[in-house]
């Protein structure tokens, strides 16, 4: 199971409110696409799910338990920039995940344990189409191949949740299409919950079973930083769901008096 619940989450940096009143449930096994203009808090939302940042207010739970204060093996992440170790070859880049899991202080395995871990790493590389490149270093790989390697790294610990922060934004259209064809079967086979931030609407609709659009529904020219982004569209893209129509969404709740009072009081 990998159900995520977000309850009245706010994220503030000093006087700036980035996200406000975010509440939603993400079902186990969903593929959620997150879109919105630059600077509206999409990546901030992802970092809170990862555990890299903590919300100023509100609660986020995974399978009923509050998220720990730091990232853990139950949440894998792939960034837009290729997050692989340049001094390790392809096989070693995936193997190191198993080494840290089994031997967190030395990150070294020997004998039968290393052999078993190597076989698991090779199976992952085969799943992402890199079995012919195990001895190459990242500098010898194309952009698409490096992202395949980053995905293999993220999947090594069998995470419940896979977080993707514009993972294909730097790839050309042909390579991006190949990555889409790779990702969907991996998601279905492993039963993960996936949350993907993207600026590409075609990608968001093509991959997701649900689409969340973040934006600021209200801007005060006198205090532009005192209103944060909310979820303004929440669309069901699953085959059994209603056909989404841009321009129509679930009505957003108006700001309550208590929320306005909290907004106007700076936090220490």
151 within some domain: no
C-beta atoms surrounding 177 within 10 Å = 15
Residue 229's pLDDT is what? Answer: 94
Structural domain boundaries enclosing 29: 1-68+195-245
262 within some domain: no
33 within some domain: yes
| Tens of pLDDT, residues 42-71 | 999 999 999 999 999 999 999 999 988 888
Helical axes 90-102 vs 111-127, angle rounded to 10°:
130
Distance CA 151, CA 154 (A): 5
223 within some domain: yes
Residue 81, burial from CB neighbour count under 10 angstroms (0-12, 13-18, 19+):
middle
Residue spans of the chain under pLDDT 70: 1, 82, 239-268
Residue 241's pLDDT is what? Answer: 56
Burial annotation 131-169 (CB, 10 A radius, 16+ → b, else e): eebbeebbeebeebbbbbbbbbbbbbbebbbbbbbbbbe
DSSP letter for 142, please. Answer: -
Residue 138's pLDDT is what? Answer: 93
User: What phi and psi values does residue 59 have, to the nearest 5 degrees?
Assistant: -135, 140
Residue 96's pLDDT is what? Answer: 92
178 within some domain: no
225 within some domain: yes
Residue 218's pLDDT is what? Answer: 81
Catalogue the long-range contacts made by 44-51 (C-beta closer than 8 Å, 24 or more residues apart).
44/11, 44/18, 44/19, 45/11, 45/19, 45/197, 45/214, 46/77, 46/163, 46/165, 46/195, 46/197, 48/9, 48/11, 49/4, 49/75, 49/161, 49/163, 49/195, 50/75, 50/77, 50/163, 51/75
108 within some domain: no
Residue 100's pLDDT is what? Answer: 85
Tally of structural domains, the chain: 1
CATH of the domain at 238: 3.40.50.300
Residue 267's pLDDT is what? Answer: 47
268 within some domain: no
Residue 29's pLDDT is what? Answer: 94
Residue 261's pLDDT is what? Answer: 43
């Amino acid at each position: 199971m990998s159900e995520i619940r977000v309850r009245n989450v706010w994220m503030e940096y000093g006087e700036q409110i980035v996200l406000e009143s975010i509440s939603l449930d993400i079902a186990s096994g969903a593929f959620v696409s997150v879109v919105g203009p630059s600077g509206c808090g999409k990546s901030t939302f992802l970092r809170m799910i990862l555990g890299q940042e903590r919300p100023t207010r509100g609660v986020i739970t995974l399978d009923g338990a509050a998220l720990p204060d730091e990232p853990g093996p139950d949440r894998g992440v792939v960034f837009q920039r290729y997050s692989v170790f340049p001094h390790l070859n392809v096989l070693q880049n995936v193997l190191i995940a198993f080494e840290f899991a089994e031997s967190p202080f030395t990150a070294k395995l020997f004998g039968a344990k290393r052999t078993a871990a190597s076989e698991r790493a090779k199976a992952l590389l085969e799943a992402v189409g890199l079995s012919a490149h195990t001895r190459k270093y990242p500098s010898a790989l194309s952009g698409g191949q490096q992202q395949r390697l980053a995905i293999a790294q993220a999947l090594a610990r069998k995470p419940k949740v896979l977080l993707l922060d514009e993972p294909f934004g730097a790839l050309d259209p042909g390579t991006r299409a190949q990555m889409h064809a790779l990702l969907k079967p991996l998601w279905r086979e492993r039963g993960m919950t996936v949350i993907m931030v993207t600026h590409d609407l075609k990608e968001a609709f093509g991959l997701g079973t649900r689409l969340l659009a973040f934006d600021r529904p209200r801007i005060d020219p006198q205090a532009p930083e005192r209103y944060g982004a909310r979820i303004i569209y929440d669309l069901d893209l699953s085959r059994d769901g209603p056909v989404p129509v841009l321009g129509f969404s679930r009505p957003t709740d108006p700001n309550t008096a208590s929320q306005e009072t909290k907004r106007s009081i700076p936090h220490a």
